[in-house]
Amino acid sequence: MDALPLRWNLPKADAAPDSWVETVAQATPGTTTSRWLAQVLWQRQIGFTEPLEGWLNPALYQPTPASALGPAMAIAVSRLQQAIATEEKVAIWGDFDADGVTATAVLWDGLGQLIPKGDRLTYFIPNRLSESHGLSRRGLDHLADWGATLVVTCDTGSTSGAEIAYAKALGLEVIVTDHHTLPEVDIGAIALINPRSLPPEHPLATLSGVAVAYKLLEGLYAALDSPPPLPLDHVLDLVAIGLIADLVELRGDCRYLAQIGLARLQTQTQPNPPYPRPGLAELLALCKRTGDRPTDISFGLGPRINAVSRIHGDASFCVELLTSRDRDSQGLALKGQHTKTLAYEAELANTRRKALQRDLYGQVMARVAQVDLATTRCLVLADETWPTGILGLVAGQVAQALGRPTILLRIDSATEDGSPGLARGSARSVAGLDLYQLFQAQSALLTGFGGHPLAAGLTLPVEHIEVLAAALNRMVREQLGGNGEPQPQIQIDLTVTVADLGQPLFRELKWLEPCGMGNPVPKLLLSNVWFQNAFHKKLRDRQNKAVSFIKTEFELWDDAAEAGFPGEWWGHYRDELPPGRSDVVVELDFNSHTGYHVKLIDVRPTAVGQPGADPGPSNSVLDGWQHAAQAKLPLALAFSQAIDDLSPGEVWQELVGLAKYLARTQTPVTRSQLSDRLRLSPTSLALGLAALETAGFEITPDSHSLAVAAPEQDILTIQFDPDPTTPTPRAVQPFLDVLQEEQFRRRYFAQVPVTALS
């Protein structure tokens, strides 16, 4: 089952006015020009709802005080002060994703300056594979046995009313800090600090779990008679990790905290950081990042922190990884470098996660191929073998590919008394559809649920799965409309050329960072480009074991380019790149290891016959022949020094792969496009096409192109027999023989001295 093609929403035709460009330039000191940046901001209407200067430059932003979170903040601060004064035992209850883990680490470090760690302060994180989000009786029993009298949650607890009542019965009081959906009734906590209680436009309204935990520390530190040894900002690097890794809109204080947190994070890779975190430094080194980019978190640290619970279930050691100093009381390094070992475990977990995710995505899409998508608006799929830890990741991939909310469930085995088991899983939504509201409307079918409007978890009896699927399908059809095929969309921000790619454009667009919900990474459209020097490779983990995850690297060219620009396409093979001219959507990226490069987001062949389109790079050799013939000049045939990278057998395999791609996508192609892509002469290409036809491919020239075009411009359509045959060596050998001779000639004329031609 292939993903639906993305619909490209092109940039607005109107350019940003000069006055707006000047306003942006004044807010971004040090930039030589701000035309590109101003155009993106103009299109996105950023700067119209909040002051532009503070949005772009954190030094000009006025942060909102913790007291703005309401009376609950004052109650929580007072109760913590009481616990500190009376030497109570305090427990932090966290969550197992990156936001929850960093929130736990922030409170562990922040409260740990006021309450002795281990003796009177502890933390608890549920096991992702055996437990769910939120409080549990088992965990509360454990904390009560330890002697806790006060529990402070972070990134969880807003809907845990029944568990908080149980905690009270055990003698535990609970402060809830969270950012998930608010309960409809009082849950019994002594304080519930949740930014969802604020108006949507409030600068604190979109705080994530780690940011709410930080605000609690801010309120507590402000109430102290004397400051603790380390200032509040020593945890800002952890705040940035949780904020950027979570699904929250980075605006207001969210954006401000992420910006200043990134500045703190990058000090971890520099000599003598002011507040060293060796575990963070090791993680950044393993993912080859320096900590100065939001993508260092979203594609580096975040996935590695999340992978620990996805693979192992227990994420508790991640708190130690993020907070341990690897130093003794005299500041000397401890033997064994414990944090290096923990970072290595997180790295291995992430590589295993990648392999499992790719395999599960293939399984799910195979199941989707059996579903009637014309009548199914919400996908609900379940299996007894699917790994729980990565269901949310794959559900997100499927939802994005098919434009439908997707719920993936793991079916647990039946209980000992023979009753059906439970199904636990994750859901991901599409724009305009609130998952939490959907689940709330069907709560009678569920044993538990929670999360964001776009991402949620749920548990339900197995016998309710089909009923839930039917109910959700009906509700989604009613909310989004039942007519028409949903189609994923991509909003393009700028149209550029290959020559525009590089440092100046990157530095302008970097002012948009950190990007996320409501402020995505800028998407760039390049038209009439082609790919060269493409190759794919299977990734390997730190133990040099291959994992089932690949990426293709390439150079991007257009007619104005003096050099190809490097790029990468994750999760795709090189034969999935179309031959000839293409239109592409990319993101411009940079890191210290690979330099400036683009990430390919979507690609489609440039339509033959479009204005300005032609089948490939200009044929300067043919132009030279014609000129020499007209002038009656002597002509010598020569080739560049480039030597063929592929053997004839490898070229045949690439031709087969290209044919499969063209057949699967029903993309028309000209003979010259195939020749340019594979460096084939008309003779060898004809023999290659003939060999393909013996392997189950049907190659049909367009009748119109036959009548009006030269043979090399024939537009071919390729079909593929679903039950293919293997061509005999005799059928392929003529192609291999001719290609071997052509490659020999190219090598010979590339190396022969010019004097030998006189």
Confidence category of residue 539, pLDDT binned at 50, 70, 90 = low
Task: Indicate if the pLDDT at residue 516 is higher than 50.
Answer: yes
Structure confidence at residue 614 (pLDDT): 39
Least confident of 71-75, 274-278, 400-404, 483-487: 483-487
Q: Per-residue pLDDT averaged across 65-75, rounded?
A: 97
Confidence class of residue 547 from pLDDT cuts 50, 70 and 90? low
**CB-based contact 121:147 (threshold 8 Å):** no
Going by the DSSP 8-state scheme, the letter that residue 683 receives in this structure is: H
pLDDT at residue 132 tops 90: no
CATH number of 371-413+420-461: 3.10.310.30
Higher-scoring residue by pLDDT: 546, 98: 98
pLDDT at 31: 73
pLDDT in tens, 35-50: 999 999 998 888 777 8
Q: How many Å apart are CA 589 and CA 515, to the nearest integer?
A: 12
CA distance 251 to 212: 15
Rounded mean pLDDT, 89-114? 96
Nearest-angstrom CA–CA distance, 272 and 94 = 30
> What pLDDT score does 62 carry?
94
Q: How far apart are CA 543 and CA 676, in angstroms?
A: 39
Q: What is the mean pLDDT of residues 712-727?
A: 68
Residue 654: enclosing H or E segment and its boundaries?
helix 648-665
Q: Concatenated DSSP letters for 222-261?
A: HHSSS--SS-GGGGHHHHHHHHHHSS-B--THHHHHHHHH
Instruction: Provide the 3-class DSSP secondary structure of residue 76.
Output: helix
Q: Domain residue spans in the chain?
A: 66-352, 371-413+420-461, 492-605, 648-751
The CATH number of domain 648-751 is 1.10.10.10: yes
**Distance of alpha carbon 185 from its chain centroid, rounded?**
36
Per the prediction, the chain carries an average pLDDT of 84
pLDDT tens readout for residues 312-338: 999 999 999 999 886 544 444 444 478
- Residues sharing a CB contact under 8 Å with residue 220, sequence separation 6 or more, in sequence order: 77, 80, 81, 110, 114
Per-residue pLDDT band for 752 (boundaries 50, 70, 90) equals low
Chain length of the chain: 758
The span from the CA of 307 to the CA of 168, in Å, is 34
User: For residues 615 and 681, what is the distance between their CA atoms, to the nearest angstrom?
Assistant: 15
pLDDT at 196 over 90: yes
Q: Which residues pair with 699 in a beta bridge?
A: 718
Q: What do you get for the CA distance between the two ends of the chain, in Å?
A: 59
Average pLDDT over residues 730-736: 85
* 3-state SS, residue 454: coil
Q: In sequence order, what are the beta bridge partners of 604? A: 583
What type of residue sits at position 210? V
Residue 333 pLDDT? 47
Fold assignment, 66-352? inorganic pyrophosphatase (n-terminal core) (3.90.1640)
**Percentage of the residues of the chain whose pLDDT score is greater than 90:** 50
Query: Residue 750: which pLDDT band, with cuts at 50, 70 and 90?
Result: low
> Regarding beta strands 191-193 and 173-177, do their DSSP bridges make them parallel or antiparallel, or are they unpaired?
parallel
Contact in structure between 555 and 580 (CB atoms under 8 Å): no
User: How much of the chain is in helix, strand and coil states, percent to nearest 5?
Assistant: 45, 20, 35
The answer to whether the beta carbons of residues 455 and 567 sit under 8 Å apart is no
Cβ atoms of 669 and 580 closer than 8 Å? yes
Integer angstrom CA distances of residue 540 from 235, 308, 347, 537, 543: 33, 18, 11, 9, 8
DSSP 203: T
For residue 1, what pLDDT band results from cuts at 50, 70 and 90?
Answer: very low
Domain spanning 492-605: which CATH class is it, in words? mainly beta
Least confident stretch, 89-93, 279-283, 417-421: 417-421
Please give the average per-residue pLDDT across 595-605, as a whole number.
Answer: 92
More confident residue, 646 or 262: 262
- Predicted structure pTM score: 0.76
Name the residue type at position 671: R
* Across 168-195, average pLDDT: 95
